[in-house]
Amino acid sequence: MALRNSTLSGPAIARTECAGAAGGARRGRRAGSRDRDSGAGPPPKAEPRVRAAAAMAIFSVYVVNKAGGLIYQLDSYAPRAEAEKTFSYPLDLLLKLHDERVLVAFGQRDGIRVGHAVLAINGADVNGKYTADGKEVLEYLGNPANYPVSIRFGRPRLTSNEKLMLASMFHSLFAIGSQLSPEQGSSGIEMLETDTFKLHCFQTLTGIKFVVLADPRQAGIDSLLRKIYEIYSDFALKNPFYSLEMPIRCELFDQNLKLALEVAEKAGTFGPGS
């Protein structure tokens, strides 16, 4: 089961751009002939516009056991809209404490949004509601002697407990999707698509789920999921110190998984023997 958003097809866009380029070329030839007739030189060539392509990326990997427990998680690349600004006293933002984080409650401006969390103060990352020195963030920002102060805001990072909860929720959604299928033997949720990422899932015959969050344009995720399963079989299951259904703490598994993610981001596919 997959949720997809309709988009313009590539050939249609290409035809439109080619038609526009052809029309521009014809207009350029006509203008050039008029300039030659009037004795003026040819018009200067326009500098080509270079469109920067955003790099594709694999954001994170989750491994969920058949009971819905998170046994492995890796953040590979996590893009965040972060904003850093230097403030003078008094602080013109209203901050509040929520779930052990200091969040913006009112006064969004300059890329700082309501709901953003305080991520760093004067370049040092904060730990929840505490600064790097162990002081409470709200108490530190309430002291005029600490100003001017540089604060970096951004989307709150997921805690370990939140990741465990989300893995369990996805396990339940996967089971619901399988039950709602009109056909017997449904594979469950294979992909969920949003405007900023795609969630891909591969479930093995033993019930282990491998979940990859990636850029919507990233190719070769199906091959990557099977490659991760192969790495799991080689470096986790064959490890005599690893117990089934338990958290994966194997250095070779970590190393080979990170290498596979790098290959997937660059090439997009895995060939035989890769």
Query: To the nearest whole number, what is the mean pLDDT of the chain?
Result: 78
CA distance 58 to 78: 9
Fold of 58-78+159-267: Beta-Lactamase (3.30.450)
Q: Tell me the domain boundaries of the chain.
A: 11-38, 58-78+159-267, 83-154
Same fold, 58-78+159-267 and 83-154: no
pTM of the model: 0.64
CA distance 178 to 175: 5
Q: What is the pLDDT of residue 164?
A: 92
pLDDT level of residue 133 (50, 70, 90 thresholds): confident
- Between 31 and 254, the more confident residue is 254
Say if residue 34's pLDDT is above 50: no
Q: Indicate the DSSP class of residue 168.
A: H
Q: What is the pLDDT of residue 76?
A: 81
Query: Closest Cα partner for 215 from 195, 245, 230?
Result: 195
Q: Coil, helix or strand for 59?
A: strand
Cβ atoms within 10 A of the Cβ of 253, count? 22
186-204 mean pLDDT: 90
Sequence-distant (6+) residues with CB within 8 A of 254 are 74
Domain 83-154 CATH class label: mainly beta
pLDDT per position as a tens digit, 201-257: 999 999 999 999 998 888 889 999 999 999 999 999 999 999 888 999 999 999 999
pLDDT per position as a tens digit, 57-99: 889 999 999 999 999 999 886 556 788 889 999 898 989 998 8
Cβ contact 39:58 at 8 Å:
no
Q: What is the pLDDT of residue 30?
A: 46
CA distance 27 to 4: 41
| Cα-based distances in Å from 78 to 156, 203, 234, 263, 274 | 12, 24, 27, 18, 26
Q: Indicate the DSSP class of residue 246.
A: S
Q: What is the pLDDT of residue 80?
A: 62
How many Cα atoms are found within 13 Å in the side-chain-facing hemisphere of 160?
Answer: 3
Q: What is the pLDDT of residue 269?
A: 56
For residues 203-225, one letter each, b for 16 or more C-beta atoms within 10 angstroms of the residue's C-beta and e for the rest, the string is beeeebbbbbbbbeebebbebbb
Say if residue 141's pLDDT is above 60: yes
CA distance 7 to 73: 31
